[in-house]
Amino acid sequence: MKKTVMNLTLCAMFALPLTVLAQQWEALPKQAPSPADNPQTAAKVELGKTLFFDPRLSEHGTLSCNSCHNVMGGGDDNRPNSIGMHDARGGRSAPSVWNAAFLSAQFWDGRAATLEDQAKGPITNPIEMGMSDAKVAIERLQAIPDYLPLFKAAFPESREPLTMDNVAKAIAAYERTLITPDTPYDRYVRGDKKALDAQQLRGMQTFAEVGCNACHMGANFSGPALPAGEGFFMKFPNIAGSEYDKKYDLLADTGRHSVTGKDSDRHLWRVPTLRNVALTAPYLHNGKVATLDEAVRLMAKTQLNKELTPAQVKDLVAFLGSLSGNFPQQTMPRLPMTPGNSVVPPVDPHLTVKTAKK
């Protein structure tokens, strides 16, 4: 997987004037892009939604994709670490699934190139949804008779529609509907100059002046639009040695380095979106920062070596709040049932606690 890395300090040094930066504000597109090999269809989206909410895709039948990525909320679980099978704790905070369709790489360390790649991971991760392998997961779905017609409708060209690849494609298709393009910020950029209040406008200006958009640029506030698999990565902390390193254990996890083993990737992270960030506390990859105002102070210091005034922090938090808006209405799907029997085996009483990374 390719990576794009920028040095924050250099970006801040060569920040453009506000008159130019004003031309860089982008509204979120009202439709997410989809790959040529997985076009959107209504049947595929409906199947993906059903799978996203079905806990029977987990070992004990207790966890679904929605358990960690709650689309009835901010698309995460508002926990420092997610809870998986056998009471396991994830090693990283669950990223929001809202607007993930606009990211060019998935997971905090960018190890998945696409939503399709990402969707396969948690199902067979022993400390997330816990299915022992893809074959077992597919056998579980095959034991639910009413799933096959849904797969046939979603993948009419497939001779064997019920496969793990198609599970991932369907879930990804549903996730591409999870976008929030109608925020106060978007309405402002599209021409409604009353959409932001005075404090939010000050925060928008501060965002540019301080240099936050050196990383959080583009319509998704997650970096430039890049081809799938070419992740946009930043070093974090960019400026080591502040009080935050120890206070929030910032150096314990080496980020992308844990995937590639390359020293050059040590403490590199995929830049997360700031959309709906006000709704996804706690913050950072390890979920150790409880509040948004503290996260703003921390990022200014560790990335740009800047101490913000209390007024700047309040204004930035107000602006970040304008990146939350109307969410598409979500209705719970009716899951295919198995009258008279259960496809979920008895739970092993010998539970063990493990840890994982997102």
> pLDDT (tens digit, 9 = 90+) per residue, 269-285?
999 999 999 999 999 99
> pLDDT (tens digit, 9 = 90+) per residue, 107-116?
999 999 999 9
pLDDT band, very low/low/confident/very high, at 11 (cuts 50, 70, 90): very low
Q: Does the domain at residues 42-178 carry the CATH identifier 1.10.760.10?
A: yes
- Is 153's pLDDT higher than 50? yes
The predicted model scores a pTM of 0.92
pLDDT band, very low/low/confident/very high, at 346 (cuts 50, 70, 90): confident
Are the CB atoms for 127 and 86 separated by under 8 Å? yes
Which own/partner pairs from 124-128 qualify as long-range (CB within 8 Å, at least 24 positions apart)?
A: 125/84, 125/356, 126/85, 126/354, 127/84, 127/85, 127/86, 127/88, 127/90, 127/354, 127/355, 127/356, 128/63, 128/68, 128/82, 128/84, 128/85, 128/88, 128/90, 128/356
Give start and end residues of each alpha helix (H) in the chain.
8-13, 18-21, 42-53, 65-68, 115-124, 134-142, 147-154, 164-175, 184-189, 198-210, 243-247, 257-260, 292-304, 310-321
175 belongs to the catalytic site: no
- Is 355's pLDDT higher than 60? no
- Is 194's pLDDT higher than 80? yes
- Is 220's pLDDT higher than 80? yes
Give the domain ranges of the chain.
3-28+181-321, 42-178
Asked if the domains 3-28+181-321 and 42-178 are classified in one and the same CATH topology, the answer is yes
Specify the CATH number for 3-28+181-321; select among 1.10.760.10, 1.10.3720.10, 2.60.40.10, 3.90.120.10.
Answer: 1.10.760.10
> pLDDT (tens digit, 9 = 90+) per residue, 42-91?
999 999 999 999 999 999 999 999 999 999 999 999 999 999 998 898 88
Residue among 59, 116, 128, 294 flagged as catalytic: 128
